[in-house]
Amino acid sequence: MLEESGKFRFYSVERIRVFNRANDTYIVVGKDKIMKLILSSKRLEVSSAYIPNNMGERNYINQKYTFYPYPSRRKKEGWIITCIESGKEWDFQSKDSIVVAGKEQILFEVNWKKSISLLNYSVGKKWTYSYLKNWIATSRNVIEIESDQNSIFLSLGSDRNPQGCPPDKIQLNGAIASINLENGSENWYYEFFHSIQDFFVYKNIVYVAHRNEIAALNAKTGELIREISAGENYGNNIVWCDGNYAYLFNYGDEKAYLFDLELKQKLGELAFPDNFILNNQHHPYLIEDEIYIPVCPKRLNMLHASQGIVRIKKDRILQNDPIEYINEPAFTSTLIDNADGTQSYTLRVKGDCADSVIRIGEVELRKLFADFGHHWYQDDLNLNKKFNGIVCAELEVAKSDSERFNELFDTLQKRMEDWLDFMRATDNTGKLPAKVNYSVKTF
């Protein structure tokens, strides 16, 4: 879980559900692991609370609200929105999306094709802004709020299939608008000749990614300051700014291009570690003087096995320092030939810190199954047809940290059991479920 500008983000490859009880909020991870959200200390802790029998699947949770679509997420007629602090529930009838934006956790109802409405909790709509034309929603429909400017910045989507337009004249247009937060009036509207992939607001500049270009707009007037192209690939790019430089993260090029804040010139490039690419679902973030860039594996079958963070000192971003992949503690994996003609793997992890042994142990176990095993996302490139779906994990931790290890070990076993079930991992015959055999030592 990461705290970012007053928000909590909880990442999991497993299904997440949420329920409230006695003004407390609980997150159910996977089938039955329950975590209690402790707002005062900004953390989650394992809980023994029971799961309600009639519990529905909540859509998401933030610091202020939980959200439950009814009767189901796909066929919703409305939302039960619960205020975490007071425990009060609001039944808001709507078939559209509910979005929370800004540090103030402001509620919006959004029809990504037609309109956006500001909501007063437990009261109703304060205002509605209707789009000039019927846009088609894209994955980069984002709302950003700048309270100092009393403005909302909204990516409207794409008109890649406008009604009545001949097929040979279809343009992949995209638009962004600035809206008055108080009354919903339009401050400005800017349309690009390409679909908008992402945007990011920094002080008085709105950076926009479209095609393989980055554009800078005046946040108050919408006037185009400048735009510049970088890289060869067009799709899934994102933009960001750390206060010193503007970034265009080109997903296809597997690198970031850095510019001065007004895009007058390109200043340098930043490449990602081997086997990793930008995780374009999340912007980088800045903590004190360090930049954190989310990355993910290049290969789809490894996506559910590991994620990563690139950490760089802000003042070293253009110094061409090598980016090192830190694997601590030390580990080895060995292929074992069995007497029955099958093969298995042994993973050995040894370290002083229990948290690191557990973390690396889980990541490397997942990698072995994801890379060589039979499962729902298997990749025939490295598939081991003799792999019997068994990995022996030999974990060794310092005696001084053995108590902490024992606290975490049960969680590791449960997480791996749930993950193997999620991946539908089996042996090479497809008949027996994959499993991990553990042995634990201290030194």
Say if CB 178 and CB 153 are below 8 A apart.
yes
Say if CB 205 and CB 185 are below 8 A apart.
no
CA distance 250 to 236: 7
Query: Mean per-residue pLDDT for 394-423?
Result: 90
Residue 390 scores a pLDDT above 70: yes
330-442 folds as Trna Endonuclease; Chain: A, domain 1 (3.40.1350)
Kindly report, residue by residue over 166-214, the tens digit of the pLDDT: 545 555 678 899 999 999 999 999 988 878 888 999 999 999 998 889 9
CA distance 367 to 371: 6
Residue 311 scores a pLDDT above 50: yes
Look at residues 170, 179, 174 and name the one whose alpha carbon lies nearest to residue 156.
174
CA distance 175 to 307: 32
Residue 53 scores a pLDDT above 60: no
The neighbour count for residue 395, using CB atoms within 10 Å, is 23
- The segment(s) of the chain belonging to CATH 3.40.1350 are 330-442
State the pLDDT confidence band at 119, using cuts at 50, 70 and 90.
Answer: very high
Query: Mean per-residue pLDDT for 366-371?
Result: 90
| 188 token code pair | 């400005």
CA distance 414 to 15: 14
